[in-house]
Structure 1
């Protein structure tokens, strides 16, 4: 499906742009292209993937904005050192985690969530409005209804955690919603074969709700940590099972 970079972009062209960005981004994150390596020849990539040079240039601009590539006179566009990458970028997070995720990478993901969510819960317990607390209870009830439907439970679970960020009343925390959403979606994918299902997490989610409703910051903080500990155990269990199947 060729893409003409000129003129307005329809959904098809946007899709091709996204696919090319995903393909090139994953290649860099997986180490198929190493720091210091030049990007593939533009003409070759354009021909191989049926896109225009204009589309490829736009993808490179996006990657440059994430700190992954840089263009220099005479040397062209090259991969930057990993220390220059914005690892909090949702795309880079998504590219980093997949079927070959290691225990160490999963640990990094949960360290990030622990640095954000328990503090947000504590602040939410102090600042949330009655209306926000009522909404959180309704979201929990949705999670309870869909406890045996992984996909719909994941949607409600994501809504629960993102609501807590917004309940802080702090716009900076609110801006982290897309970051934690990506982290949570990765967690769900890594533990999608959890034999225990979603029900074991319900009492802990209810505990978080109760702590916020009762205006107890420390309880909200500790219960969110417990919840994240359980989620990490589920992910590690799934990773261990995948590793055993791969032997």
Structure 2
């Protein structure tokens, strides 16, 4: 049911309330333009104080999800106002079963960033940074299937490439979407065969960077992303037949 509590309360009650309301918003329980229930009703449902509610509302407003309207109440803002790079918003989106359109949009962002990052890394990476990319790749090969290492080593590989661009904006942006990568990898690397099948593509990216071949590194990363997005979309329940740009 929509008003079921999804996780036990943490020490920070207002953060828990923000989680409850945030997941409802991103999952469409409260749709853009809709006024959410008043403080008294939500407070009674969640059994929290008005102070905790107001602190939660502040958090959600800072993420662009809601706005207060005098004498009318609190309304969900349109999606173009949401801070989609906020780690909580991304986490809530993945926990709410992301749509094919959401995944497509996220992969389009990756397509803009990561092939170009691989190309920059091929030009600018220091020997030490190339070693880090190599270590990250071989850690992927050694990761035990079915464990968290599968996801963490994959993230380490992509983050090492962003770091090797030696561009502070790329590095900062990579940190911002780290939560998104974790969610994507949980979907696209969920099966042993899929993770193993992705290893040659990762190695090809690494070799392009190691050899200083920027165009090859760009091509291999784009190819890797193209295969990854189709695996992710195919793993979703229902119809996932959407136009994919990568």
| TM-score interval for Structure 1 and Structure 2 normalised by the shorter chain | 0.7 to 0.9
Q: 2:227 aligns to what?
A: 230
Helix, strand or coil at the partner of 2:31: coil
Q: 1:39 aligns to what?
A: 36
Structure 1 position 49, deviation (Å): 2.0
Contact 1:204 1:226 in 2 (8 A): yes
Q: Cα 1:162–1:203, aligned 2, differ >3 Å: closer, same or farther?
A: same
Matches within 5 A, 1:82-121: 82-98=79-95, 100-121=97-118
Q: Cα 1:130–1:195, aligned 2, differ >3 Å: closer, same or farther?
A: closer
Q: Kindly tell me the number of residue pairs found equivalent between the two proteins.
A: 231
**Mapped partners of 1:36, 1:184: distance in 2:** 29
Matched, 1:74 2:77: no
Helix, strand or coil at the partner of 1:78: strand
TM-score by structure 2 length? 0.84
Structure 1 position 17, deviation (Å): 3.3
Helix, strand or coil at the partner of 2:185: helix
Structure 1 position 93, deviation (Å): 2.5
5+ residue gaps in structure 1?
A: 1-10
TM-score by structure 1 length? 0.84
Q: 1:168 aligns to what?
A: 165
Q: Cα 1:139–1:129, aligned 2, differ >3 Å: closer, same or farther?
A: same
- Equivalent of 1:122, from 106, 119, 136? 119
Q: Cα 1:180–1:102, aligned 2, differ >3 Å: closer, same or farther?
A: same
* CA deviations over 1:36-77 (Å, ceiling 9, x no partner): 332322233223223322222121111111211112332232
**Mapped partners of 1:67, 1:96: distance in 2:** 14
* CA deviations over 1:69-111 (Å, ceiling 9, x no partner): 1123322322112222222323222323356433333222211
- Range 68-77 or range 167-176, more displaced: 68-77
* CA deviations over 1:170-197 (Å, ceiling 9, x no partner): 1111111233322222212323543624
**Mapped partners of 1:173, 1:53: distance in 2:** 41
**Mapped partners of 1:132, 1:148: distance in 2:** 26
- Equivalent of 1:178, from 175, 191, 201? 175
